[in-house]
Amino acid sequence: MFVDRAKIYIKSGKGGNGCVSFRREPFVPEGGPDGGDGGKGGDIVFQADRNLRTLMDFRYKKKYEAENGQDGMKKKKFGKNGQDLVIRVPMGTVVIDEETGLVMKDLTEDGQRFVAAKGGRGGRGNTNFKNSVRQAPNFAEAGGFAKERTVILEMKMIADVGLVGFPNVGKSSLLATATSARPKIENYHFTTIAPNLGVVEIFDTSFVMADIAGIIEGAHKGLGLGLQFLKHIERTKVLIHVVDVSGSEGRDPIDDFEKINRELLLYSERVAKKPMLVAANKIDMIDEDSPQYLRFKAYVEEKGCRVFPTSAPINLGVQELMAAAAEELQKAELLPEEEEYEYFDFDSDDFDPDYREVYAEKDGNTYILSGKQLQKIFDSTNFNDMGSLRYLYKYLEKRGAIEKLLEMGLEEGDTIRIFDYEFEYWDEY
């Protein structure tokens, strides 16, 4: 089964906590702190793999978690870093953040890697908090938080040339004749329900050609199997528009040509601007001198496209068409590549601007403080140690939290709650 879209949950590893420890050797008076730092949590890494063809594996496993970092140890021993979790995906996979809909990365080259969720930093041991005043810190830093998010994986097939056109116009037959691919070919609509790839070898060169399954009117809105197919055209450099010029299904070839082009334009102006060749297929069913074909040829050439009369089953005109495609491809490769996506770094402060912000609110006579960085400091606090409590209080002062509470009416004796810990406020504290 060809699967080109999947939604999965990812979670990096939490950083290990710093250690609170003191030297205990005999004959070493006032040995001092020797708590080691915690290890870094493992990252979630996506890696493009040329040997994968679909996102089938993600239909059965949807939750991926990296290893947590190990806590620090005594004798200044660092905790072990958590192991990164590498998730292999096919080349051409786009990683999208579900919550925002923004593109995180487009993995187009074999072996290309991308960190989608960084592991939490290891917490510092109490050794790091020793200074001339605080000789024996009885607290350490908690490990950094794990990052978790739901991402959408969307695979867009990487092909040089794409075959587009209405269902049953002969795209699969053309692919089978020009390459060693063996797509399913039957005389009914939507025989092809997934894109097929084949390699065209001509003269001293070769290129990858894809049969983009049948597009219908309204495909840009998702009608039929529209959006599932249209997205695979985005990476191609050259399009071959296959048209049934015989009108064997009772449609007008010119009308078919215009409808498909309109769908491409409505889906993406970038796609509509790609170089296009036109295969006037099933030419063996009519005369090349017939008014119907000549009218179609003149109309298409007026639009700036070259027309090639072909009949895929009998290999008529296919070689000439492939030679022209190779020529157009060579020209397209000389042009500077446009950046398809703007990437967003979800680990930067731009996407977590409130990390250091401390929020204050009042519930009755209780004043409540909260914040992401505050939670990390809170988790690091030893509430049985005055030095550790003073460190927490200095942080609150520095972030302006106490000032905020005073503006809200905080007075001596009032209760301040930080997560699940409550204490009374006194000015001389």
Distance from C-alpha of 237 to C-alpha of 330, rounded to nearest angstrom: 10
pLDDT the model gives residue 171: 87
User: How many Cα neighbours within 13 Å face the side chain of 138?
Assistant: 9
pLDDT the model gives residue 226: 43
Q: Do β-strands 359-363 and 306-309 pair in parallel, antiparallel, or remain unpaired? A: unpaired
Q: Is 304 within 8 Å of 261 (Cβ atoms)?
A: no
pLDDT the model gives residue 429: 41
Cα dihedral sign, 361-367-372-373: positive
For the stretch 406-415, pLDDT in tens is 888 888 888 8
Is 60 exceeded by the pLDDT of residue 187?
A: no
- Domain covering 352-424 in this structure, CATH number: 3.30.300.350
pLDDT the model gives residue 350: 44
SS3 328: helix
Residue 14's Cα: distance from chain center in Å? Answer: 22
Instruction: Band the pLDDT of 225: cuts 50, 70, 90.
Output: very low
Is 90 exceeded by the pLDDT of residue 212?
A: no
pLDDT the model gives residue 339: 60
pLDDT the model gives residue 72: 93
Domain with CATH 2.70.210.12 in the chain: 5-155
pLDDT the model gives residue 220: 40
Instruction: Band the pLDDT of 179: cuts 50, 70, 90.
Output: confident
Q: Do β-strands 85-90 and 44-49 pair in parallel, antiparallel, or remain unpaired? A: parallel
Which candidate, 334, 277, 340, 337, places its Cα nearest to that of 309? 277
Is 295 exposed, middle or buried, given 0-12, 13-18 or 19+ CB atoms closer than 10 A? middle
Q: Is 387 within 8 Å of 137 (Cβ atoms)?
A: yes
User: How many Cα neighbours within 13 Å face the side chain of 396?
Assistant: 25
With pLDDT > 70 as the criterion, what percentage of the chain qualifies? 86
Q: Give the ranges where 335-426 is alpha helix by DSSP (H).
A: 372-379, 386-398, 401-407
Is 70 exceeded by the pLDDT of residue 268?
A: yes
For 242-311, the three-class secondary structure string (H helix, E strand, C coil) is EEECCCCCCCCHHHHHHHHHHHHHHHCHHHHCCCEEEEEECHHHCCCCCHHHHHHHHHHHHCCCEEEECE
Fill in the amino acid letter for 61.
Answer: K
Domain with CATH 3.40.50.300 in the chain: 161-334
* CATH class of the structural domain 5-155: mainly beta
Q: Which of 72-86, 205-219, 287-301, 402-416 has the lowest mean pLDDT?
A: 205-219
Is 90 exceeded by the pLDDT of residue 239?
A: yes
Most confident of 134-148, 213-227, 313-327, 329-343: 313-327
Distance from C-alpha of 358 to C-alpha of 375, rounded to nearest angstrom: 10
* CATH class of the structural domain 161-334: alpha beta
Distance from C-alpha of 296 to C-alpha of 330, rounded to nearest angstrom: 27
Q: Which of 225 and 142 is assigned the larger pLDDT?
A: 142
Q: Is 261 within 8 Å of 299 (Cβ atoms)?
A: no
Instruction: Band the pLDDT of 28: cuts 50, 70, 90.
Output: low
Instruction: Band the pLDDT of 62: cuts 50, 70, 90.
Output: very high
- Residue range 173-178: mean pLDDT, rounded: 89
Domain with CATH 3.30.300.350 in the chain: 352-424
Instruction: Band the pLDDT of 100: cuts 50, 70, 90.
Output: confident
Q: Do β-strands 366-370 and 63-65 pair in parallel, antiparallel, or remain unpaired? A: unpaired
